[in-house]
Amino acid sequence: MHGFIDVDHQPDPTSWVAVLDRLTEEPFYRSYQQRVRELLRPSPGRRYLEVGAGTGASAVRLRDDHSVSVATVDHARTMSVAMRARGLTECAVADAHHLPFLNRSFDGAWADRTLQHVADPHAAIKELVRVVRPSGRVVLADPDYDTQVLDIADQSLARRVLRFRADVLLRNGTLAHQHAGLLAAYGLVDINVEARTLVVRNPTAVDNVLGLRSWAATAAERGALDPAEAQAFADAFDDAVAAHRFTYTVTFFLTAATVS
């Protein structure tokens, strides 16, 4: 299972802080996270919540750019420590399924790449909606791994590895295109879906984080792929990089709505 399901019990918990720091510096991530904050329609003096806030980089930006107050929740104590070190003060170590706040406590709340990891995303969304006041905003952002493509020589093998990434390596790797429907089911209005596609042409740029090249080896370890196929994947991957052919994409969905 993915390390973000249980950061505190990973062999090196702080390495997951470094992963998030690295991603935050990527232009694609900076850009879509800024859009997530805009979709909250923040106004000065109001109060917002990020669920699964990680290092709190986006929460700090929202607070500083819009003169609002921001509370955060993350179930990893490691992340809470990192957030406090970065100047956030209201950092609850809590689970997205049981938020330690009264109903209607916030003017807006968001979850960015958190729902892909939670045990029950429907319950977590319901809980997020519960703590936002009427007319307040809810924003959900996640990659949807049903949207992946990868150009290496063996497309059939590529598709099998991408399916493994979508269906096994993540708990809810293909949920994001359903965010709008779930928010509608919970009675939210003014629902808006935006898509942003991450294009990776140089896998070393984000590969420490995405681990693209290692997905086939992981599939082989778990019996989902033959070891020879995993090696063939790695070879085709390296050939594609050497030939400047390599292209991987995955689309993120940014779904925003208003509590009625």
- We find the least distance from the C-beta atom of residue 168 to ligand SAM, in angstroms, to be 17
Q: Which is nearer to ligand SAM, 22 or 133 (CB)?
A: 22
Which of these, 128, 130, 147, 127, lies nearest to 139 by C-alpha position? 128
DSSP state of 47: E
User: Which residues inside 15-34 make contact with ligand SAM, applying CB under 6 A?
Assistant: 20
Largest CA distance in the chain: 59
Angle at which helix 13-25 crosses helix 57-66, to 10 degrees, equals 50
Q: Which is nearer to ligand SAM, 174 or 233 (CB)?
A: 174
Q: Which is nearer to ligand SAM, 32 or 246 (CB)?
A: 32
List the alpha helices (DSSP H) in 40-194. 57-66, 77-85, 121-130, 155-164, 179-185
> Which secondary structure element, helix H or strand E, spans residue 232, and what is its range?
helix 227-242
Q: Which is nearer to ligand SAM, 57 or 259 (CB)?
A: 57
> Which secondary structure element, helix H or strand E, spans residue 217, and what is its range?
helix 215-221
- We find the least distance from the C-beta atom of residue 166 to ligand SAM, in angstroms, to be 16
- We find the least distance from the C-beta atom of residue 174 to ligand SAM, in angstroms, to be 16
- We find the least distance from the C-beta atom of residue 4 to ligand SAM, in angstroms, to be 4
Asked whether position 79 contacts ligand SAM by CB under 6 A, the answer is: yes
- We find the least distance from the C-beta atom of residue 226 to ligand SAM, in angstroms, to be 30
CA pair distance 92, 217, nearest whole angstrom? 36
Spell out, one character per residue from 97 to 136, where the chain touches ligand SAM: x when CB under 6 A holds, - when not. Answer: ---------------xxx--xx------------------
Q: Which is nearer to ligand SAM, 7 or 138 (CB)?
A: 7
User: At CA 38, angle to CA 60 and CA 258, rounded to 5?
Assistant: 110
Q: Which is nearer to ligand SAM, 73 or 180 (CB)?
A: 73
- How many residues sit in the footprint of ligand SAM (CB under 6 A)? 19
Encode 144-179: b = buried (16+ Cβ within 10 Å), e = exposed.
bbbbbebebeeeebbebbbbbbbeebbbbbbbbbbb
Residues at the contact surface with ligand SAM, assessed by CB under 6 A: 4, 7, 20, 52-54, 58, 73-76, 79, 95-96, 112-114, 117-118
